[in-house]
């Protein structure tokens, strides 16, 4: 065979080898350490940040807003309005993480005096971190936080320009972020927030939200409690009410308590909203796992042995049948990275080596192959026998 001529053809390999060595010979010998792509990533996803509390203020009678800045005073990462921050709380020997929707706007994280805020309601006695934030967090406290998490945000290529947000109680927070960003002119959509509260005292961030109403941001308060003087909308966020504020093409964002999700699924079905127009924020950790279908009720009072492998190290800790593996680990002071605590983000992906678990069906965000090999998201998995797991070394 012949391409160009025998001699040229057979010397090809030597030719290309020489060309390569020549290229090296003439290259610079100065190390080029910078990676501009990685620099952009650092500004969006810098990993865990050292944060310091700058301000704590009332968001209503029953909730507080906490403002954080970076301990080094630097700009906070870019994020999308609607996303959450994961904060680490050091309680005794344990580090416990919680996700909170960011209630401040993305532009505020990049301004002259950059900050990020969360707004948290006091619990009814069952949420010790929420109460800790309301009672004990003060200016100067420091936290580690990972921000810009989650998929609950407006995506212009996907969502309708007209957005109706359905908020229940403290579920207003992601929409507060969106509303401020829209009001600032840095997020382009028409936002109507139907905001359900029990009583007018309960309305979180009311003054802040009412102040930014405009032709692009409408806040409609809806009270479910009985208040004779109330002039606004009353009752629940029903299909009729939602329809009244909808355009022909509307994207619905929903964030609120778990009971509201069940109710709104029914109401939205009545409106025949296409699936792609309905976006729920993650469900949150199941309040009572025993109420979910298929949960083995006969085990609910049991405590099992949870063997935890990290590298070649092994611990054995107790794990209650009604608490997720994450909670068992946190109680025992074993660090596990968590994000959404709703089975979605996969931060707490864990291999179950032995034993069995129940996975909350509402929060099963696993990959198919992961299911085949007994991986679980530990925040949504509950022991139903003695269990051995392997988790990353933190």
Q: Where are the alpha helices (DSSP H) in 214-324?
A: 239-244, 258-270
Considering all CA atoms of the chain, what is the largest pairwise distance in Å, rounded to the nearest integer?
100
- Between the alpha carbon of residue 116 and those of residues 16, 49, 139, 148, 186, the distances in Å are 56, 12, 14, 11, 17
User: From the CB of 274, what's the least distance to another protein, in Å?
Assistant: 7
Map residues 38-67 to x or -, x wherever contact with another protein holds by CB under 8 A: xxxx-xxx----------------------
Burial status of residue 390 (CB atoms within 10 A of its CB: 0-12, 13-18, 19 or more): middle
Q: Which stretch binds another protein (CB under 8 A): 19-27, 173-181, 228-236, 322-330?
A: 19-27
Which residues inside 156-175 make contact with another protein, applying CB under 8 A? 156-158
- Min dist. Cβ of residue 158 to another protein (A): 4
28 binds another protein (CB under 8 A): yes
Q: How far is the CB of 82 from another protein (least distance, A)?
A: 14
With CA atoms as reference, report the closest residue to 117 among 44, 176, 75, 197.
176
| Structure-block tokens of residue 325 | 């593996």
Q: Is 271 helix (H, G, I), strand (E, B) or coil?
A: coil
CB-based contact 71:86 (threshold 8 Å): no
Interface with another protein includes 202 (CB under 8 A)? no
Residues 263-302 that bind another protein (CB under 8 A): 274-276
Considering only residues 299 through 318, tell me which ones interact with another protein, judged by CB under 8 A.
310-313
Which is it for strands 357-359 and 94-101: parallel, antiparallel or unpaired?
A: unpaired
Phi and psi for 37 in degrees, rounded to 5? -65, -45
The pattern of x and - marking residues 100 through 139 that bind another protein according to CB under 8 A reads ----------x-----------------------------
Which of 55, 155, 210, 240 binds another protein (CB under 8 A)? It is 155
Binding site for another protein (CB under 8 A): 1-4, 8-13, 15-17, 19-33, 35-41, 43-45, 78, 110, 151, 155-158, 274-276, 310-313, 337, 344, 346-347, 349, 365-370, 372-373, 392-394
């Amino acid at each position: 065979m012949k391409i160009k001529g025998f001699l040229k053809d057979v010397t090809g390999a030597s030719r290309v080898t020489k060309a390569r060595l020549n290229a090296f010979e003439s290259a610079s010998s100065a190390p080029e350490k910078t990676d501009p792509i990685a620099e952009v990533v650092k500004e969006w996803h810098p990993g865990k940040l050292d944060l310091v509390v700058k301000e704590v203020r009332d968001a209503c009678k029953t909730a507080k807003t906490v403002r954080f800045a970076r301990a080094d005073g630097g700009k906070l990462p870019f994020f999308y309005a609607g996303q959450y921050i994961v904060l680490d709380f050091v309680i005794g020997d344990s580090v416990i993480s919680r996700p909170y929707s960011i209630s401040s706007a993305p532009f505020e994280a990049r301004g002259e005096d950059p900050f990020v805020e969360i707004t948290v309601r006091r619990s009814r006695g069952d949420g010790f971190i929420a109460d800790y934030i309301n009672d004990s967090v003060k200016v100067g406290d420091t936290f580690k936080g990972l921000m810009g998490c989650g998929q609950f945000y407006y995506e212009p290529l996907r969502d309708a320009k007209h957005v109706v947000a359905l908020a229940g109680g403290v579920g207003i927070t992601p929409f507060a972020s969106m509303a401020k960003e829209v009001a600032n002119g840095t997020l382009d959509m028409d936002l109507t927030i139907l905001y359900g509260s029990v009583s007018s005292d309960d309305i979180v961030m009311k003054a802040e939200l009412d102040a930014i109403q405009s032709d692009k941001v409408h806040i409609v308060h809806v009270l479910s409690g009985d208040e004779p003087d109330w002039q606004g909308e009353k009752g629940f966020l029903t299909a009729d009410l939602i329809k009244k504020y909808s355009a022909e093409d509307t994207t619905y964002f929903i964030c609120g308590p778990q009971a509201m999700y069940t109710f709104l699924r029914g109401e939205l079905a009545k409106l025949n909203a296409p699936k792609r127009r309905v976006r729920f924020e993650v469900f949150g950790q199941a309040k009572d796992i025993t109420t979910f279908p298929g949960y083995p009720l006969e085990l609910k009072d049991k405590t099992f042995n949870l063997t935890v492998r990290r590298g070649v190290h092994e611990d054995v800790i107790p794990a209650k049948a009604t608490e997720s593996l994450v909670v068992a680990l946190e109680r025992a002071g074993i660090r596990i990275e968590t994000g959404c605590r709703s089975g979605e983000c996969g931060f707490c992906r864990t291999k179950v080596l032995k034993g069995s678990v129940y996975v909350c069906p509402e929060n099963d965000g696993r990959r198919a192959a992961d299911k085949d090999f007994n991986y679980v998201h530990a925040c949504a998995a509950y022991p139903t026998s003695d269990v051995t797991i392997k988790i990353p070394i933190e």
